[in-house]
Amino acid sequence: MSRQLLLLLSLLLSCKHGFAAPAEAALSGTLTSVGSDTLGNLMTRWAEAFQQLHPGVIVQVQTPGSSSAPIALTAGAASFGAMSREMHADELQRFEQRYGYAPTRISVAQDAIVVFVHPDNPLQSLRLLDIAAIFGEAGACSSSAQDPEQRRIEHWNDLDVVDSNFAAQRLLRIGRNGVSGTSAYFSEATLCGADYRADIVQLPGSGAVVAAVAQHTNAIGYSGIGYLNALVKPLALSTATHTTAVSPNNQTIESGTYPLSRSLYLYFNMKPETAPSVLLASFFRFILSAPGQGIATREGFLALSAEQRTTQLTALHLAQ
């Protein structure tokens, strides 16, 4: 068969079936996430899934705590900063002084801070003022009309626990260290501007707090809900003495009726009125997709709604 005839047949087949679209250029490069321990497991799962989709990409995840995110982002040492709280004014100011504009922030999942005890502890609920008395320095929230004198809470019977195995025991208070966004958020939400007590055992990770409370029957601690397991018992919380205590679950977190609901964030460097780089845009599209949010759900967080995801993508100039 002549070459001319082969070429003609090839052209005819192309017309019949349509020309094949050129293959999309493979993504490559490195992304670095620095920040929140609360977001650590989720960022790692997102990184693993994204790298499976794009083998030419490396996603590095570092989790020293939320306070490390603004430092790394301002220094140009991170592609994005993972934070379980909003940036403070001084952190934003340092970034703006260097770049001339504010960092861009997107919400990537919903979370809640949960206070928990050992499963054998009969306590079922707390007021926010009780939390202030447990974790705050003397007088935290003492000006509140709900509890103007604010009782000191040192033993479990101060919380009306009458079980003889607990009543006379002193509380063992366990929390996060100073670089933790969870610690900062918990303080802002419950301590009325006061400092933490000096005798709180401070641990570097949420998983460590859960493990410590599980090992000590007299312990009480807090962490993001994504780290809870059956070895500890979460407590329902109320905002005032005569209001119903609300348990942390998907419905109460999404509705905001659980008092310590919060958003989780990624901050990154993007000039105003521009879009992220192709690599960053692909990563953000993935984590804000239904499969990406499914990973958040499996890690114990609450996924963003379709409307919330669209809002975030629109802010990035990525909405379709």
Q: Where in the chain are the domains?
A: 29-110+263-316, 112-261
Whole-number pLDDT of residue 320: 66
Whole-number pLDDT of residue 7: 39
Q: In whole angstroms, give the CA distance from residue 66 to residue 195.
A: 18
Whole-number pLDDT of residue 295: 97
Whole-number pLDDT of residue 207: 94
- Nearest-Å Rg of the Cα atoms of the chain is 25
Half-sphere exposure of 128 (CA within 13 A, CB side): 20
Output the six-digit token pair for 170. Answer: 């002193």
Output the six-digit token pair for 271. Answer: 């000039």
Q: In whole angstroms, give the CA distance from residue 108 to residue 100.
A: 25
> 13 Cβ partners below 8 Å, 6+ apart?
none
Q: In whole angstroms, give the CA distance from residue 297 to residue 102.
A: 30
Length of the chain: 320
Place of tokens 């007299």: 218
Is the Cα torsion angle 70, 71, 73, 79 positive or negative in sign?
negative
Whole-number pLDDT of residue 200: 97
Q: Could you say which of 2.60.40.10, 3.40.190.10, 2.60.40.1110, 2.40.30.30 is the CATH number of the domain covering 29-110+263-316?
A: 3.40.190.10
Per-residue pLDDT of the chain (320 residues; tens, 9 = 90+): 444 443 343 434 443 344 333 334 689 999 999 999 999 999 999 999 999 999 999 999 999 999 999 999 999 999 999 999 999 999 999 999 999 999 999 999 999 999 999 999 999 999 999 999 999 998 788 765 555 455 689 999 999 999 999 999 999 999 999 889 899 999 999 999 899 999 999 999 999 999 999 999 999 999 999 999 999 999 999 997 668 999 999 999 988 899 999 999 999 999 998 999 999 999 999 999 999 999 999 999 999 999 999 999 999 988 76
Assigned CATH topology for domain 112-261 = D-Maltodextrin-Binding Protein; domain 2 (3.40.190)
Name the pTM for this structure: 0.81
Instruction: Assess whether the region 29-110+263-316 and the region 112-261 belong to the same CATH fold.
Output: yes
Q: In whole angstroms, give the CA distance from residue 222 to residue 289.
A: 30
